[in-house]
C-alpha cells in the first residue's frame, strides 16, 4: 500500500512538474512574441510611412475608397506614356490594362520591351493595335524610356514601369491639374503599395512638395510623376548612366533648371512590391548612385545623420499627413 501510494504521489509530482515546465515554456514564448511585436510596432511607428511598404496584411484593393474620376478639362492635353519592360510577363498585362482603362482621348502609349524571353511578347501581341510596342535589346531601363519617347509629339509625359499600375482617373486628374496650374511643370500624387498578386499592403499620403528635402532624398513616387514636355526639351532625356536612381537624377536636373514641382491631393498609382523588383535586388548599386547625386547636388557626401536631419521636417509632415488619413481625420 505504501509503495502504491508513493508511486502515485511520484506520478502526480511528475505531472505537476511537466505542467510547470510547460507554463514556463509558454511564458517564455509569450515574452518573445511580445518583444517581437513591440519591436515591429516600434519600427512601424518610427519608420517613415512613405518608405514602409508592408503596413498591413494583404487585402483587396478598395477602389471605392478613392474619389470618383473627375471630368476632363475643356481642352484635353495630349499625354504620352512609355512602359520600359524586360521579362515582366506576370505583371505586364495589369500595367497595360490600367493605362487603357483610363479611356483618355489624347493618349499615346508605348511599351518598349528589351527583348524579353518570357511570355511578354505574346502578351503584347494580344493587344493588337490598342497599343504601340517594340521588343528589341536595349541598354537598360533609361535607354528603353528614351527610345519609347523618340519622335513623340505630346504636351505631358510620364513613364510607368511594367510592374506598377495607374489608378482609375489618374490621367484626368493630371490633365485638370496642369490646366489649372500653368505655373507647375512636374506633378505627382499619393501612392498605394500592392504585393505580387495585386493586393493592397499599404498607402503613402504625402505632404506638399519640398525642394530642400529633394536635395537629400528622392522621395517623389516615380510611378505617380508627370511632367510637361518643356522639361524634357530643356534638360534632355533620362540619363542612361543610371540604373537605379535615374528618376531622382531627372528630378534634380529639372529642379536645378528652375522647373517647379507640386504634389496634387489624390492617389495616382500603385507601386508593386516583390522580390524581383530592381529596388530590392540592386540596393548596393542604388546606394552608390544616390551618393553620386548628393555629391553633385551638395558638393559633398553627407552622413546618414546629416541626411536624417535635413529631411526630418518633411518626414514629420508626412507622418502627420499619413496618420491623419489613417485615422479618418482627412480623406486624402
Q: Give me the residues paired with residue 108 across strands.
A: 80
Asked if residue 47 is part of any domain, the answer here is no
C-alpha 86/C-alpha 31 separation (Å) is 46
Asked if residues 233 and 192 have their Cβ atoms less than 8 Å apart, the reply is: no
Asked if residue 71 is part of any domain, the answer here is no
Asked if residues 242 and 249 have their Cβ atoms less than 8 Å apart, the reply is: yes
Q: To the nearest whole number, what is the mean pLDDT of the chain?
A: 88
Range of the domain at 227: 77-326
How many helices and strands (H and E) does the chain possess? 11, 9
pLDDT tens column, 273-305: 988 765 555 778 899 999 999 999 999 999 999
Asked if residue 282 is part of any domain, the answer here is yes
Give mean pLDDT, residues 40-50: 57
Predicted pLDDT at 32: 56
Predicted pLDDT at 40: 45
C-alpha 67/C-alpha 162 separation (Å) is 25
Asked if residue 67 is part of any domain, the answer here is no
pLDDT tens column, 124-158: 999 999 999 999 999 999 999 999 999 999 999 99
Predicted pLDDT at 89: 96
Task: Please report which confidence band the pLDDT of residue 39 belongs to, taking 50, 70 and 90 as the band edges.
Answer: very low
Asked if residue 253 is part of any domain, the answer here is yes
Nearest to 45 by CA among 326, 331, 328: 326
Predicted pLDDT at 24: 52
Nearest to 229 by CA among 141, 151, 113, 144: 151
**Strands 226-228, 186-194: pairing kind:** antiparallel
Q: What is the pTM of this model?
A: 0.85
Q: Which three cell numbers stand for residue 78?
A: 495630349
Asked if residue 243 is part of any domain, the answer here is yes
Domain count, the chain: 1
Asked if residue 154 is part of any domain, the answer here is yes
Asked if residue 64 is part of any domain, the answer here is no
**What is the secondary structure of 168-211 as a DSSP string?**
TTHHHHHHHHHHH-TT-SEEEEEEEEE-TTS-EEEEE---S--H
Distance of CA 257 to the CA centre of its chain: 26
Give mean pLDDT, residues 165-191: 97
Give mean pLDDT, residues 232-240: 98
pLDDT tens column, 61-103: 988 888 888 999 999 999 999 999 999 999 999 999 999 999 9
CATH at 229: 3.90.550.10
Residue 38 has pLDDT above 50, yes or no: no
Amino acid at each position: 500500500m505504501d509503495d502504491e501510494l508513493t508511486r502515485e504521489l511520484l506520478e502526480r509530482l511528475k505531472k505537476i512538474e511537466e505542467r510547470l515546465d510547460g507554463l514556463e515554456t509558454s511564458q517564455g514564448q509569450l515574452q518573445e512574441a511580445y518583444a517581437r511585436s513591440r519591436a515591429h510596432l516600434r519600427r512601424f511607428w518610427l519608420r517613415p510611412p512613405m518608405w514602409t511598404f508592408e503596413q498591413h496584411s494583404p487585402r483587396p484593393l478598395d477602389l471605392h475608397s478613392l474619389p470618383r474620376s473627375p471630368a476632363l478639362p475643356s481642352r484635353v492635353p495630349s499625354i504620352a506614356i512609355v512602359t520600359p519592360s524586360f521579362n515582366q510577363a506576370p505583371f505586364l498585362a495589369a500595367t497595360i490594362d490600367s493605362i487603357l482603362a483610363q479611356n483618355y482621348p489624347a493618349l499615346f502609349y508605348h511599351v518598349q520591351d528589351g527583348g524579353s524571353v518570357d511570355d511578354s511578347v505574346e502578351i503584347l501581341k494580344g493587344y493588337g493595335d490598342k497599343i504601340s510596342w517594340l521588343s528589341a535589346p536595349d541598354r537598360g531601363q533609361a535607354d528603353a524610356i528614351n527610345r519609347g519617347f523618340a519622335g513623340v509629339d505630346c504636351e505631358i509625359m510620364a513613364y510607368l514601369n511594367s510592374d506598377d499600375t495607374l489608378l482609375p482617373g489618374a490621367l484626368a486628374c493630371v490633365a485638370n491639374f496642369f490646366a489649372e496650374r500653368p505655373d507647375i511643370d512636374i506633378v505627382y500624387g499619393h501612392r498605394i503599395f500592392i504585393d505580387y498578386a495585386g493586393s493592397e499592403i499599404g498607402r503613402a499620403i504625402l505632404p506638399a512638395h519640398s525642394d530642400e528635402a529633394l536635395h537629400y532624398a528622392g522621395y517623389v513616387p516615380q510611378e505617380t510623376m508627370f511632367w510637361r514636355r518643356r522639361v524634357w526639351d530643356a534638360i534632355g532625356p533620362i540619363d542612361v548612366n543610371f540604373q537605379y536612381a535615374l528618376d531622382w537624377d531627372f528630378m534634380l536636373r529639372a529642379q536645378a533648371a528652375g522647373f517647379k514641382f507640386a504634389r496634387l491631393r489624390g492617389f495616382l498609382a500603385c507601386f508593386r512590391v516583390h522580390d524581383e523588383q530592381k529596388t530590392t535586388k540592386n540596393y548596393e548599386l542604388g546606394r552608390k548612385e544616390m551618393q553620386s547625386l548628393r555629391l553633385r547636388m551638395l558638393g559633398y557626401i553627407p552622413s546618414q545623420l546629416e541626411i536624417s536631419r535635413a529631411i526630418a521636417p518633411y518626414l514629420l509632415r508626412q507622418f502627420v499627413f499619413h496618420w491623419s488619413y489613417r485615422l479618418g481625420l482627412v480623406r486624402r
